[in-house]
Amino acid sequence: MEEARRGVTPLIKKIAEKEKVSEEFVRNGIASGRICVPCNPRHDPEPAAIGEGMSIKVNVNLGTSRDIVDLDSELRKMDIAIKYGADAVMDLSTGGDIDAIRARLLKECPVMMGSVPIYQTGLTAARKDAVVEMTEDDIFNGIEKHAKDGMDFMTVHCGITKETVGWLKSGNRLMDVVSRGGSFLTAWILHNEEENPLYKNFDYLLELAKKYEFTLSLGDGFRPGCINDATDRAQISELMTLGHLVERARAAGVQSMVEGPGHVPLDQVATNMKVEKSLCQGAPFYVLGPLVTDIAPGYDHIVGAIGGAVAAQNGADFLCYLTPAEHLSLPDEDDVREGVIASKIAAHVGDLCRGKGKERDDAMARARKKLDWDAMFDVCIDPEKAKRYRARGCTEKQDGCSMCGDVCAVKIVNKYLIKDIENDHNEC
């Protein structure tokens, strides 16, 4: 942020060229905090910009669990995610040698990477005694460790306070707290009867972020875990707190973005996006889904893509993918592929609403008119799947597909429209 406030840098030039906007637009966005570029110099990933006027980015969550610890599998998942266009990866590992897993993923990851340091801190405390016994030093030491390792952005649940925890007691939530980090800090506050260390010592967190140059991803610890709980007092009170913290981060020259829901009925998605942008002064908005119904386990990547497209249309800047395994199990490699493709579709739909990316759709339309299958495959999101479907029931020599055959609408109109045009030319 401080470099952008002084003028245009090589990084700003690179982003402007990539996003097809002016250098001054990018510079102003970063300087004001409406655009962030997570980039810890210890990792130094390919730069990507999140926020106002930028293309919508997609994050993929990876990581081991208590029951499944397979680093090679996580590396393959990362390769799959990047192959299909993931702009960022988060390591959420909770099983095995977490430090070694994080170091290896960072080493192999060419795009920006994030983490949630309190996961590891809380698990370490739980193994010794209980999550609620972690100390303030434990929390900040965990953040500093991830920063030293090279994390480009970190989720920190600073908006949960003693006051906002009270809304859980007086509200009508069905699911209470579904954020893992949010549950750690909610339990810690209730058990210790103390203020959230991340909120109380926010200035120290800003010092760490500035020293190590990582971006704060201000976590939504009270995000709704079912559509009944959406847009309630707990969620909005946390969001109001995060708006104040965004101001403090900007004053300190620290990049920040704000995380959002969660489970939200479709008719409330646009409102949630606009409220966040208003309360948080246009900060980049990072959303999980949102999921627009609760009844589709096994298909939550589709549910999330529906919500993500509407969210992106109305102001979301960064979509966190969901996989078919959401709420059920650790995703496998096929789940990751399905999840990232669904979110990339949602992001592209959102980009179209913002006047970006139409040239790709136009290229597909021109290829379809010509029945140019190779050109179609070149421009589509998943060429391999498209080729498999194309090959079912027809030969490579056929210009149509096995659904329409000789009565292909495009083929018929092309034939007679071209003939009619030729006749008109001959008459002239």
pLDDT band for 413, please (50, 70, 90 cuts): confident
Mean pLDDT estimate for the chain: 94
E strand or H helix that includes residue 276: helix 266-279
Q: What is the CA radius of gyration of the chain?
A: 24
Largest CA distance in the chain: 91
Give the three-state DSSP class for 184. Answer: helix
Of 371 and 215, the structure prediction assigns the larger pLDDT to 215
pLDDT above 90 (res 287):
yes
Question: What's the full length of the chain, in residues?
Answer: 428
For the stretch 8-17, pLDDT in tens is 999 999 999 9
Residue 133: Cβ within 10 Å count: 14
Give the three-state DSSP class for 361. Answer: helix
pLDDT above 70 (res 259):
yes
Please name every residue paired with 36 in a beta bridge, in sequence order, or none if there are none: 50
Residue 107: Cβ within 10 Å count: 10
For the stretch 188-209, pLDDT in tens is 999 999 999 999 999 999 999 9
Give the whole-angstrom CA distance, residue 357 versus residue 38.
23
8 A C-beta contact, residue 124 and residue 95: no
For the stretch 326-358, pLDDT in tens is 999 999 999 999 999 999 999 999 999 999 999
pLDDT above 90 (res 398):
no
Which class for 272: exposed (0-12), middle (13-18), buried (19 or more C-beta within 10 A)?
A: buried
Question: Which segments of 150-212 does DSSP mark as H helices, in order?
Answer: 162-170, 180-192, 197-200, 202-212
b vs e for 71-93, b when ≥16 Cβ sit within 10 Å of the residue's Cβ? eebbbebbebbbebbbbbbbbbb
Q: Which two tokens stand for residue 349?
A: 């739909």
Q: Which two tokens stand for residue 322?
A: 């969901």
Give the whole-angstrom CA distance, residue 88 versus residue 155.
14
For the stretch 65-114, pLDDT in tens is 999 999 999 999 999 999 999 999 999 999 999 999 999 999 999 999 99
Give the three-state DSSP class for 34. Answer: coil
- The candidate with the shortest Cα–Cα distance to 89, out of 77, 101, 98, 103, is 77
Give the three-state DSSP class for 80. Answer: helix
| Location of structure tokens 């009619």 | 420
Cβ neighbours of residue 37 closer than 8 Å, sequence gap 6 or more: 11, 15, 30, 47, 48, 49, 50, 215, 255
Mean pLDDT of 365-378: 93
Residue-level pLDDT at 349: 98
Give the three-state DSSP class for 425. Answer: helix
Cβ neighbours of residue 243 closer than 8 Å, sequence gap 6 or more: 279, 280, 281
E strand or H helix that includes residue 376: helix 373-379
* Domain chopping of the chain, boundaries: 33-353, 358-427
For the stretch 170-185, pLDDT in tens is 778 999 999 999 999 9
User: Strand 35-36 relative to strand 50-51: parallel, antiparallel, unpaired?
Assistant: antiparallel
Q: What CATH number labels 33-353?
A: 3.20.20.540
Residue-level pLDDT at 426: 56
Q: How far is CA 163 from the centre of its chain?
A: 29
> DSSP secondary-structure letter at 176?
-
Which class for 410: exposed (0-12), middle (13-18), buried (19 or more C-beta within 10 A)?
A: middle
pLDDT above 90 (res 266):
yes
Please name every residue paired with 215 in a beta bridge, in sequence order, or none if there are none: 153
Please name every residue paired with 155 in a beta bridge, in sequence order, or none if there are none: 217
> DSSP secondary-structure letter at 107?
H
pLDDT above 90 (res 391):
no
Residue-level pLDDT at 424: 57
